[in-house]
Structure 1
Amino acid sequence: MSLGQTKVFMALSKRLSWDVKNMEVASDNLSRADLSGAKQKRLKPFTFQKALNTELARTNPQHLGPQHGGVTEMLSTKDKKQDVTITGNNISAHHEMMEFNNSNTKVYETTSLQKKFVQMYRNWMTLTK
């Protein structure tokens, strides 16, 4: 079994792509914070439980595949907790900066976990030879 086929590594990769996408959404929200009528975008929360329930691989490209679109389907509606400002938007620059920073921290944590997992996998491979 290769490293990329392990469920833990795949889940960490999905988490990493979710965090990067969340940083993109937060920066997009931040860039539109001063526009009138701008609506806040959010990603649906990431869960490792859902990420570990992976689909079976297709052996033939003509077989039916999954109907979902990956990270792009994670977009959800606006955050209804935010108040609408005088300009008519509900985007808080402070909140978006915190969201961006939180995602940046999660990217660092996830890459650290991936590095540790790769080290453990290499050790396991050398012991089993």
Structure 2
Amino acid sequence: MDLSQIPLFAMLRGRLGYLSQRQQVVAENVANSDTPGFAPKDLKPFSFQAQMQAQARSAASVTHPGHIPLSRSQGGAVSGWNPVTQRDSETSLDGNSVVLEEQMMKLSDARMNYDAAIGFYQKSLGLLRLATRAPGR
């Protein structure tokens, strides 16, 4: 059985994909911290409701066994977050509004959430292994 067919693992996979993409967006912000006129971007917060709607759309798109299912990159749970421009608290004279301290806080937040999701994923895998083990082993 594919783990992505289990809703819990599909949600965790979506969350990990979101956090990975957020880390990339924040890294781009930091890389452009000296670019005149650059406005930092961030992803909209991860929401359970949006994740469920994305999975319902991808599941509902296959209505016949002969249809080809959409891949995750074509509208599934993993790719669906578009960066939006969000100015930080300060703007320099050259128009750049990246504040490195705020970006480092976002990066740290993404890292902590990623570590928590990985820990939950590993614990869930451990429970599945325990459930599939023969009694008395």
Q: How would you bin the TM-score normalised by the shorter chain?
A: 0.7 to 0.9
For 1:84, give the aligned amino acid: T
Q: Deviation string for 1:34-54 (max 9, x for gaps)?
A: 111011111111023332442
Distance 1:115 1:98, change over 3 A: same
In structure 1, the residue matched to 2:32 is 32
Q: What aligned pairs does 1:1-129 form with structure 2 within 5 A after superposition?
A: 2-53=2-53, 54-55=55-56, 56=59, 58=62, 59=65, 60-61=67-68, 68=75, 73-80=80-87, 82-126=89-133
CA distance in 2, matches of 1:12, 1:73: 15
- Asked if structure 1 preserves the Cα contact closer than 8 Å seen for 2:37 and 2:95, the reply is yes
Listed as ranges, the gaps of 5+ residues in structure 2 are: none
Deviation per CA, 1:4-53, whole angstroms, max 9, x where unpaired?
21111110011011111111111110010111101111111102333244
TM-score (norm 1): 0.81
What do the CA deviations read for 1:48-99 (whole angstroms, capped 9, x no partner)?
A: 33324423163422x7899747655412422245332212011111111111
TM-score norm. by structure 2 comes to 0.77
Cα RMSD over matched residues? 2.7
Q: Distance between the aligned counterparts of 1:65 and 1:3, measured in 2?
A: 15
Note the C-alpha offset of 1:2: 3.9
C-alpha contact (below 8 Å) 2:26/2:107 kept by paired residues = yes
Q: Is the alpha carbon distance of 1:11 and 1:29 closer, same or farther for their aligned partners in structure 2, counting shifts above 3 Å?
A: same
Identical pairs, percent: 23
Q: Is the 8 A contact 2:51 2:77 kept in 1?
A: no
Contact 2:3 2:9 in 1 (8 A): yes
Change (3 A) 1:83 1:70: farther
Aligned equivalents of 2:9, 2:76: Cα separation in 1: 20
Identify the structure with bigger relative contact order (alpha carbons < 8 Å, sequence gap 6+): 1
